[in-house]
């Protein structure tokens, strides 16, 4: 069954499973059946049971992942469309992102440490809220495991994408700007895509959160970890 490792076959499977997962979520309306999460789970089970290594899968997979970066560039369009709104609210936006960044790094470090995680893991978790390339860079800089960070970042995104709006409803976060910013800040591009599904405006505010928290996290994480006695 060597054919199962064919890169185009694996790309086709990825598209096919994702399409079915989207269909399934529309039919059932269940939030937990997040198409990204479901596709990842189905593919892992498939690869493990067919004995295909991640390296083999990634020969096709990296052609899909390749589009992640142009897609992040494309977020410049919704951002441009909301520039005027953003300019008017620059102070609350920056304050909220600064708070989100500090809380994100400090809380994950303190909780993981308190529960006995090793230094290497704690450092890998520190930049978990932000988009993969930034998170991996930060993890490398502070002595974490960049590829573990990448995996955790995807999980964080899924968590935010699935639970984010519900959590904000419970905590009375109602304004579209607050919701968008929070989704981008806490759940990077996955949160942003969940927000963009509501409307272009939400997508724009979320890409703002993704960008600002990304930049702040890149700049502040080493200092924060130093204060927390980890570096």
List 28, 107, 119, 199, residue binding other proteins (CB under 8 A): 107
From CA 68, how far away is CA 211, in angstroms rounded?
Answer: 15
Q: Is 30 exposed, middle or buried (0-12, 13-18, 19+ CB in 10 A)?
A: exposed
From CA 30, how far away is CA 148, in angstroms rounded?
Answer: 29
List 83, 119, 223, 227, residue binding other proteins (CB under 8 A): 83
List 4, 20, 33, 145, residue binding other proteins (CB under 8 A): 145
To the nearest whole angstrom, how small is the minimum distance from the Cβ of residue 191 to other proteins? 9
- Using CB under 8 A as the binding rule, whether residue 164 contacts other proteins is answered as yes
Q: Do residues 129 and 187 touch, judged by C-beta distance below 8 A?
A: yes
From CA 157, how far away is CA 153, in angstroms rounded?
Answer: 6
- Using CB under 8 A as the binding rule, whether residue 132 contacts other proteins is answered as yes
To the nearest whole angstrom, how small is the minimum distance from the Cβ of residue 34 to other proteins? 8
- Using CB under 8 A as the binding rule, whether residue 154 contacts other proteins is answered as yes
From CA 168, how far away is CA 149, in angstroms rounded?
Answer: 25
Q: Which stretch binds other proteins (CB under 8 A): 1-9, 23-31, 61-69, 223-231?
A: 61-69
| Between 28 and 67, CB nearer to other proteins | 67
- Using CB under 8 A as the binding rule, whether residue 175 contacts other proteins is answered as yes
- Using CB under 8 A as the binding rule, whether residue 173 contacts other proteins is answered as yes
Which residues, including other chains, have CB under 8 Å from residue 76's CB and lie 6 or more apart?
none
- Using CB under 8 A as the binding rule, whether residue 77 contacts other proteins is answered as yes
Query: For residue 28, how many C-alpha atoms fall within 13 Å in the half-sphere facing its CB?
Result: 12
């Amino acid at each position: 069954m060597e054919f199962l490792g064919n890169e185009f076959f694996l790309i086709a499977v990825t598209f096919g499973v994702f399409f079915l997962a989207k269909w399934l979520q529309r039919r059932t309306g269940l939030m937990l059946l997040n198409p990204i999460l479901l596709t990842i789970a189905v593919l892992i089970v498939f690869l493990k049971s067919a004995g295909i290594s991640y390296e083999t899968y990634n020969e096709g997979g990296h052609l899909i992942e390749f589009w992640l970066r142009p897609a992040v560039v494309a977020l410049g369009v919704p951002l441009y469309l909301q520039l005027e709104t953003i300019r008017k609210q620059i102070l609350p936006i920056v304050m909220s992102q600064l708070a989100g960044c500090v809380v994100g790094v400090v809380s994950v470090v303190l909780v993981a440490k308190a529960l006995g995680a090793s230094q290497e893991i704690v450092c890998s978790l520190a930049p978990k809220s932000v988009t993969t390339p930034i998170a991996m860079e930060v993890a490398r800089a502070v002595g974490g495991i960049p590829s573990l960070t990448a995996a955790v970042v995807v999980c964080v995104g899924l968590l935010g994408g699935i639970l984010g709006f519900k959590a904000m409803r419970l905590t009375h976060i109602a304004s579209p700007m607050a919701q968008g910013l929070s989704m981008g800040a806490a759940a990077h591009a996955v949160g942003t895509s969940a927000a963009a599904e509501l409307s272009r405006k939400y997508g724009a505010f979320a890409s703002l959160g993704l960008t600002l928290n990304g930049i702040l996290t890149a700049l502040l994480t080493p200092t924060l970890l130093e204060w927390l006695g980890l570096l």
